[in-house]
């Protein structure tokens, strides 16, 4: 019998992790090596467990999936990472792929699609949901068109959105620096950029904006 492929599940929703554990454990070629509920836990678990594949959500407390992917790939370059998220915006798709994700599927995928994606990525292939592939193609084509004026939200980089999320959750600069593996001075620079780009001038205003954009829950 061939060796089982070990999967690390990363998602902040317990009920979803339990459902995925049940699904994957029912297949003889797969087993769940562990679970994590945020990006920081994902990094630590990946280094400790060395799974064959990491199934990664993007929107999580403390540290989101994109930053976790970037850090895991830096520490464990051969790691296979499949993003599974509700977010199908072109910006997040491209940011995840640029960070090092090997695949990107949506949470409305059925069980067969998920299992096939996991097995294909473990086999060395790259995987995108059909709708995600369309977004990537559209993004490529749109790049050849005249750019439309961007909203302040659209000007934020993935890193700035990570910082905005953590500010909204009430974390101080030192905590944010620890979570994102950057210096407090860099965090302060990101905070200043956020205030300038968004024309907001206090932490409470940034928190309200993060809630409005769905980065955190009330």
Residue 145 pLDDT > 80: no
Specify the pLDDT at position 140.
58
Structure-block tokens of residue 72: 């895991």
Question: 2 burial class (0-12, 13-18, 19+ CB within 10 angstroms)?
Answer: exposed
Cβ density class 144-157: b for 16+ within 10 Å, e for less: eeeeeeeeeeeebe
Residue 181 pLDDT > 50: yes
CATH code given to domain 5-141 = 3.40.50.2300
Q: pLDDT above 70 covers what percent of the chain?
A: 91
Specify the pLDDT at position 158.
85
Entry pTM: 0.72
Specify the pLDDT at position 12.
93
- End-to-end C-alpha distance for the chain, whole angstroms: 49
Neighbours of 193 (CB within 10 A): 16
The CATH class of 153-212 is: mainly alpha
Residue 162 Cα to chain centre, angstroms: 10
Structure-block tokens of residue 115: 């299992």
- Which is higher by pLDDT, 150 or 157? 157
- Which is higher by pLDDT, 74 or 151? 74
- Which is higher by pLDDT, 79 or 135? 79
Domain boundaries along the sequence of the chain:
5-141, 153-212
User: What mean pLDDT comes out for the span 126-149?
Assistant: 66
């Amino acid at each position: 019998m061939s060796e089982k492929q070990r999967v690390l599940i990363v998602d902040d929703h317990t009920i979803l992790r339990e459902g995925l554990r049940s699904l994957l454990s029912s297949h003889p070629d797969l087993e769940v090596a562990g679970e994590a509920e945020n990006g920081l836990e994902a990094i630590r678990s990946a280094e400790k467990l060395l799974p064959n594949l990491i199934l990664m959500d993007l929107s999580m407390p403390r540290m989101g999936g994109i930053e976790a992917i970037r850090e895991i790939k830096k520490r464990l370059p051969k790691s296979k990472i499949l993003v599974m998220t509700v977010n199908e915006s072109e910006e997040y798709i491209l940011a995840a792929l640029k960070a090092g994700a090997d695949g990107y599927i949506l949470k409305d995928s059925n069980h067969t699609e998920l299992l096939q994606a996991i097995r294909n990525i473990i086999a060395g292939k790259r995987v995108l949901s059909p709708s995600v592939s369309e977004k990537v193609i559209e993004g490529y084509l749109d790049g050849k068109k005249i750019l439309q004026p961007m909203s302040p939200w659209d000007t934020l980089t993935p890193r700035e959105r990570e910082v905005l999320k953590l500010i909204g959750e009430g974390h101080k600069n030192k905590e944010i620096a620890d979570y994102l593996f950057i210096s407090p001075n860099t965090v302060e620079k990101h905070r200043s950029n956020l205030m300038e780009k968004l024309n907001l001038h206090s932490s409470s205003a940034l928190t309200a904006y993060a809630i409005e954009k769905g980065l955190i829950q009330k």
